Amino acid sequence: MSRWIKIPGGRVVMAVNQQGDVVGYGCRRPVVAETERHLIGPLYADSFDIAMDMLCALSCNVFGQNISIAIW
């Protein structure tokens, strides 16, 4: 994960509950071999709502490019 955080043009988000516990995290990075696509993954969340909020936060500053979500 630490290597993905440092990728230029990428974005990392973390969700924390009121008790300070991490309840989700995710990463978006540009695909090296392609100039018009970003990849989201990994993305972990304790609930669907948290996952949707993080997807929005990860993709909010990508304009005119495709975003893929890696599902393992």
Domains in the chain, start-ordered, CATH in brackets?
2-69 (3.40.630.30)
| pLDDT tens column, 4-40 | 777 788 899 999 999 999 999 999 988 877 677 888 9
Q: Is it the case that residue 3 has pLDDT exceeding 80?
A: no
- Confirm if 40 and 70 have CB atoms less than 8 A apart: yes
> Rounded mean pLDDT of 34-57?
91
Q: Is it the case that residue 1 has pLDDT exceeding 70?
A: no
d(CA 24, CA 51): 7
